[in-house]
Amino acid sequence: MTDQEQPHRRQQLVVVGHGMVGHRLVEAAIERGLTETHDITVLGAEARPAYDRVALTSFFEVGAKALNLLPRGRYDDPRVSLRTGVEVVAVSPRQRIVTLNTGEDMHYDELVLATGSYPFVPPVPGKDLDNVFVYRTIEDLEAIRKAARKARSGAVIGGGLLGLEAANALSQLGLETHVVELAPRLMAVQVDAAGGRTLSRHIEALGLSVHTGAMTEAILGPDRAGRVTGLALKDRKALDVDIVVFSAGIRPQDALGRAAELVVAERGGILVDERCRTSEEHIYAIGECAAPGGVMYGLVAPGYAMAEVVVDTLLGGEGTFEGADMSTKLKLLGVDVASFGDAHGTTEGALELTYADDVAGVYKKLVIAEDPEDGTRRLLGGVLVGDASAYGVLRPMAASGLPLPDNPEDLILPAGGGGGVALALPADAQVCSCNNVTKGEIEAAVDAGCETAADVTRQTRAGATCGSCKTQVKKIVEDHFAAQGRTVDRSLCEHFPLTRAELFDVVLIHGHRTFDQIVEAHGTGRGCDICRPTVASILASQLNGHVLARENRTLQDTNDAYLANLQRNGTYSVVPRIPGGEITPEKLIVIGEVARDFGLYTKITGGQRIDLLGARTEQLPAIWRRLVDAGFESGHAYGKALRTVKSCVGSTWCRYGVQDSVGLAIMLELRYRGLRSPHKLKGGVSGCARECAEARGKDFGVIATEKGWNLYVGGNGGAVPAHAQLLAGDLATEDLVRYLDRFLMYYIRTADRLQRTSTWIDQLDGGLDRVREVVVDDVLGLGTELEAAMAQHVDCYVDEWTATLEDPDKLARFVSFVNAPDLPDPAISFDTARDQIVPAPAAVDLGASIPVGAGR
């Protein structure tokens, strides 16, 4: 029966391979409505759903979960079914059937091959010994990690992009690491000879051994356990290594295609046309297994573009794949490396402009073409090693053929040059190569209502993959605002023409102590609900005074003003601090007794402590008297301040734990308790990589390693969740605390009002790298000052509730009515639900007037 006889029959689209590109195809199909007419079945040979292979090396830090591209393990669209752990073993184009390794046959109307590539292992003697690995899948990395526990040293064969990543991984695993490269330089495909030398020097300075021009003759061994004992090199001394990782290139996984007699390109890869169609009408190939026009692309961005083209074609569109940019920028072992366009100057008549600073380890080269007619010069490509900050400007410039400015050397000279040169990119310049987003599309997203670079990233995906274009995206957004006269007004409110960070500095420099001094010197009017609490927070951060001290108490925001959280019916909640979530039975009993005696609703919070709700203003002192006497103190649930440092049980009890997470969490919570900040601050400490404390969902998260602690920053839950990113690894506790002191103080000083750490880091020029420079490398020389500010906070800390109970002036505010201090407010009443009180709808409306129709 043909499709015409059954016009309503749903088409069956089968996708072989659930890697990055196969996954993108499905996403695009869902987004663009292909699933309205097609059922999609995805068959993946790996045991797990698609994951971010580009970020594979971060597996050791972040684990498999963070790399997962499909966290729920299935697509939300019910018309897509995903089967992992099944391999397609044959394709029969004439019958339109694929055969699975389970023996099943499956019919398709359209077939997409997205089988990727596999690591090439040269036929070296000894390649099958134990402890010889490749570097492609999470399973590979798991096996390497396991072997590394019992190994001392390792060699990576291959000094290309992936080889250096693998070397990075071995060195992170604590192995003495060798890189063996046959070519005379590292990253031969991307960088030139001088760039390669600079790169080698960097990598050697990090303690790795680089052997270029070295030919591997054999892998030596086995020892008694069947494992590697060394690596024999031609004309050189053998290397004494226990682990060998092959990274000698990749080969397209085109076996299925070959067996089905699809046409294969000369150098491998299934040959496809510009619609990514193979020599069979109903079979497409995309990603690394495909060779459009005979060329195989070993990067993810071209694969994504191919996925889009196939979806477009199936929808009846006209899209074609036109070849792709092979530019790359990466940070290898902390060294910036970028290569773009015609990096080797192969275009006829190309000129080269180079800048090298051997001391700083920087090498930059621009490849330029001069028009013989009018002499205009255009950028063709380039290489950047050691400092790739100009990449964001240069790559789109090369891609769009924009004429160069008069002094092209400014583009690569340090300081003031590079990224600093003002350049107008044309609208069709591609800014994000991973996701093929142009400058024009970014501007359109702003016009359509995006307010920040983060909004634009969500909307267009620009910046969402490798992240190397993020600064560029941000700049385009800001410039576009400026061009529309919409200078993003960053004043705090009508009373202060300053940002919070500027106000913070002004207060610090002048040593102001009160709102009156500050508003008289730098503002107008008497302030409002925005600037008054901001000033209160700044003064609290700098002076560590009591928030209810007479001179500043009328500045405090709702909750701070009564040291409790205001609830919908005008009552308050009480949250005593339970550092790290650890509590004795005696203290638990006290909380229970207080809650019972005052008739409070009791709930365990999401922050590992207990909330007592429904307390009236006038009850707060009596409740806290009981709590303070039992050794409790304020939990600052009401403050833009440190909330909790969540912990897991850790090594004391947990059979997996490698460090005492509870001990550290308590130490950190006690250290930073009471610290006022631009927004609330949360921390977490997990005793091992299983991450039971969800530390990476916190502003600062610490995860124990065998050697110490990994410190992550910039995480949060809430409406826009963010995973914290690694700031520094394997720290001793002392260094951890030092970096945290600096990090928190730097944030407190420079963030905007109500800006969580994640958004603060995003908007900093240079992002997380900048934070690392300031906090870890101390490039601003602020380290000691920030630590001293934190030391002062720690020294001055007093519990706010204890101090309040001791001061009649502060206590006088905790009354229901100024003329009937203990009379419960008759407007507050409660119902009961599940044996506890809950607010009853407000019964009395004392004189408010809301006209009919304006109800809310």
Ligand X SMILES: Cc1cc2nc3c(=O)[nH]c(=O)nc-3n(C[C@H](O)[C@H](O)[C@H](O)COP(=O)(O)OP(=O)(O)OC[C@H]3O[C@@H](n4cnc5c(N)ncnc54)[C@H](O)[C@@H]3O)c2cc1C
Positions touching ligand SRM (CB under 6 A) are 565, 567, 573, 575, 603, 605-607, 609, 611, 637, 643-644, 680, 682, 716-719, 756
Q: Evaluate whether 309 touches 318 at the Cβ level (below 8 Å).
A: no
Q: Name which position in 164, 338, 432, 627 contacts ligand FES (CB under 6 A).
A: 432
Does 135 contact ligand X by CB under 6 A? yes
Q: Is 648 annotated as a binding residue?
A: yes
CA distances from 843 to 828, 831, 837 (A): 8, 12, 16
Closest CA relative to residue 680, chosen from 762, 751, 769, 764: 751
Does 19 contact ligand X by CB under 6 A? yes
Q: Evaluate whether 4 touches 287 at the Cβ level (below 8 Å).
A: no
Question: Binding partner of residue 463 among ligand X, another protein, ligand FES, none, CB under 5 to 8 Å per kind?
Answer: ligand FES
Residue 627 sits at φ, ψ, to 5 deg, of: -70, -45
CA distances from 356 to 395, 464, 853 (A): 20, 32, 72
Which amino acid is present at 822? Answer: D
Three-class secondary structure assignment of 335-372: EEEEEEECCCCCCCCCEEEEEEECCCCEEEEEEEEECC
Does 436 contact ligand FES by CB under 6 A? no
Q: Name which position in 466, 564, 641, 662 contacts ligand FES (CB under 6 A).
A: 466
Does 725 contact ligand X by CB under 6 A? no
At what angle are helices 391-400 and 470-483 packed, to 10 degrees? 80
Does 355 contact ligand SF4 by CB under 6 A? no
Which residue's CB atom is positioned nearest to ligand SRM?
A: 718
The radius of gyration of the chain from alpha carbons, rounded to an integer in Å, stands at 31
Does 648 contact ligand SF4 by CB under 6 A? yes
For 64: left if phi > 0, alpha if psi spans -120 to 50, otherwise beta; the answer is alpha
Cα–Cα distance for residue pair 376/276, rounded to 1 Å? 37
Cα–Cα distance for residue pair 421/423, rounded to 1 Å? 6
Q: Name which position in 208, 289, 462, 492 contacts ligand FES (CB under 6 A).
A: 462
Count of beta carbons in the 10 Å neighbourhood of residue 558: 12
Does 45 contact ligand X by CB under 6 A? yes
Q: Name which position in 820, 832, 838, 840 contacts another protein (CB under 8 A).
A: 820
- Binding segment for ligand SF4 (CB under 6 A), chosen from 113-121, 255-263, 683-691, 760-768, is 683-691
Geometric angle at alpha carbon 576, from 574 and 578, rounded to 5°: 145
Q: Match 């080969």 to its residue by tokens.
A: 251
Which amino acid is present at 294? Answer: G
CA distances from 264 to 258, 296, 306, 524, 548 (A): 7, 11, 17, 74, 77
Question: Binding partner of residue 693 among ligand FES, another protein, ligand X, none, CB under 5 to 8 Å per kind?
Answer: none
Which residue's CB is nearer to ligand SF4, number 28 or number 662? 662
Question: Binding partner of residue 743 among ligand X, another protein, ligand FES, none, CB under 5 to 8 Å per kind?
Answer: none
Closest CA relative to residue 117, chosen from 137, 132, 133, 131: 137
Cα–Cα distance for residue pair 819/758, rounded to 1 Å? 47
Question: Binding partner of residue 643 among ligand SRM, ligand X, ligand FES, none, CB under 5 to 8 Å per kind?
Answer: ligand SRM
Point out which residues pair with 804 in neighbouring strands. none
Which residue's CB is nearer to ligand SF4, number 580 or number 687? 687
Does 558 contact another protein by CB under 8 A? yes
Q: Is 432 annotated as a binding residue?
A: no
Q: Evaluate whether 716 touches 757 at the Cβ level (below 8 Å).
A: yes
According to CB under 8 A, which residues from 484 to 523 bind another protein?
494-495
Count of beta carbons in the 10 Å neighbourhood of residue 509: 8
Residue 175 sits at φ, ψ, to 5 deg, of: -90, 150
Question: Binding partner of residue 433 among another protein, ligand SRM, ligand X, none, CB under 5 to 8 Å per kind?
Answer: none
Cα–Cα distance for residue pair 677/809, rounded to 1 Å? 26
Which residue's CB is nearer to ligand SRM, number 233 or number 612? 612
Does 299 contact ligand FES by CB under 6 A? no
The H or E element that residue 188 is part of is none
Which residue's CB is nearer to ligand FES, number 466 or number 775? 466
- Binding segment for ligand FES (CB under 6 A), chosen from 11-19, 55-63, 431-439, 603-611, is 431-439
Residue 496: CB minimum distance to another protein, A: 12
CA dihedral 735, 737, 740, 742 (to 10 degrees): -80
Residues that bind ligand FES (rule: CB under 6 A) add up to a total of 12
**Positions that interact with ligand FES (CB under 6 A):** 432-435, 462-469
* Residues flagged as binding site for [4Fe-4S] cluster: 648, 654, 688, 692
* Residues flagged as binding site: 648, 654, 688, 692
**Positions that interact with ligand SF4 (CB under 6 A):** 648-650, 654, 656-657, 661, 686-688, 690-692
**Positions that interact with another protein (CB under 8 A):** 494-495, 525-529, 531-533, 550, 553-555, 557-558, 561-562, 566, 568-570, 812, 815-820, 823, 825-828, 841-842, 844-851, 853-854, 856
**Positions that interact with ligand X (CB under 6 A):** 16-22, 43-46, 53-54, 56-57, 87-88, 114-116, 135-136, 162, 165, 253, 256, 287-288, 298-301, 303, 330, 466
* Residues flagged as binding site for siroheme: 692
